[in-house]
Structure formats: structure tokens, C-alpha cells
């Protein structure tokens, strides 16, 4: 099974950025730990971060036919980007939306997501553990689909 982890704008600053909210782990540390988990479970995981909406759209297009599922923390684009929503729906790759912080406990503009209603599920508020939980949820969902609902 081949998976893709996408991180959007400002997530490259993890570790330095508002640590009270986002924690002390860097994105590289989070990505490395998740790749190890994935590999231990026989999964291939690619990671991509960009501060540019179009680059994220392009990476989603490239994943078409290559990737079985996507984990996405689109950062602020979660709340604004119809283009990323359309790319995900256009490629029809199943995805899980995730966030480090609990977006529903923050400013009202973070309560809206352009991705959530078509996601397999949404994980929000568990810090770096959100990435582990999202991986677990995505893989369980995909394995169940392959086994025709018997997994
Ligand atoms: C975030 C939440 C977003 O509202 C914010 O813009 C981010 C990070 C999170 O992981 O908690 O950049 O996606």
C-alpha cells in the first residue's frame, strides 16, 4: 500500500511556531517517525510539504494512479482552498484530514473546512499524535475496502 502525507503552509515551522499550540516536534521528526511506523507495517509513505497552494494541487495530481490514500494537514488552506478540495475530489484518492490543534476550540474561521465533508474522517487536536491516528484510520479504512468490508 502506497500512501502520501501532505502538509500545507507554515507547517515547515513546527518546533518553532507557537509551541504552546503546536508542540516542540519539528515536521521532519514527525515525518520520520510516521515513515518508520508505516514501514514497520509494510507501507510505503511519501511526504511533501509546501507553502504554495498550487504546489499542493500539483502533488495531489501526481499522486493519481500512484497512491492509495492521502493524509492531509492543509494548514490554513483547510479553511480557504476550493482548489485543494477539487484536486482531492478530482483524483478520487481517499483521504483523511488532520490537524495538530483542535480547530473547533479556536477562532470561528477555523471551524469551517473545505475538505472535511468528503474525507474518510477528520482527526483534530492530538498534537503530533494526530498523524499517528490519521495513519491508523486511513490504513484500516483502505484494508477494509480491499477486503470488501470484512477487515
Ligand atoms: C492546523 C490548524 C490550522 O487552522 C492552521 O492554520 C494551521 C495548523 C493544525 O494542524 O492545527 O496552520 O492545520
- The pick from 49, 75, 128 for probing ligand 1's pocket by mutation, whose C-beta has the most ligand atoms within 8 angstroms, reads 75
Output the average pLDDT for the chain.
96
- Residue 146, pLDDT score: 77
Q: What is the mean pLDDT of residues 59-72?
A: 98
pLDDT in tens, 11-34: 999 999 999 999 999 999 999 999
Q: What is the mean pLDDT of residues 35-63?
A: 98
Which residue, 37, 48, 42, 90, is CA-closest to 71?
48
Query: What pTM, to 2 d.p., does this model score?
Result: 0.96
116 CB-near residues (< 8 Å, 6+ apart)? 97, 122
b/e sequence 98-130, b meaning 16+ C-beta within 10 Å: bbbbebeeeeeebeebbbeeebbebbbebbbeb
Amino acid at each position: 500500500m502506497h500512501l502520501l502525507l501532505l502538509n500545507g503552509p507554515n507547517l515547515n515551522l513546527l518546533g518553532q511556531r507557537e509551541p504552546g499550540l503546536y508542540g516542540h516536534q519539528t515536521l521532519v521528526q514527525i515525518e520520520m517517525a510516521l515513515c518508520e511506523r508505516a514501514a514497520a507495517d509494510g507501507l510505503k509513505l511519501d511526504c511533501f510539504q509546501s507553502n504554495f497552494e498550487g504546489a499542493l494541487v500539483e502533488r495531489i495530481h501526481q499522486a493519481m494512479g500512484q497512491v492509495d490514500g492521502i493524509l492531509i494537514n492543509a494548514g490554513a488552506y483547510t479553511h480557504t482552498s476550493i482548489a485543494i478540495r477539487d484536486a482531492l475530489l478530482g483524483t478520487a484518492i481517499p483521504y483523511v484530514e488532520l490537524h495538530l490543534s483542535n480547530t473547533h476550540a479556536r477562532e470561528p474561521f477555523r471551524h469551517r473546512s473545505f475538505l472535511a465533508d468528503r474525507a474518510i474522517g477528520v482527526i483534530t487536536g492530538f498534537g503530533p499524535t494526530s498523524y499517528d491516528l490519521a495513519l491508523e484510520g486511513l490504513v484500516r479504512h483502505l484494508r477494509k475496502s480491499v477486503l470488501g468490508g470484512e477487515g
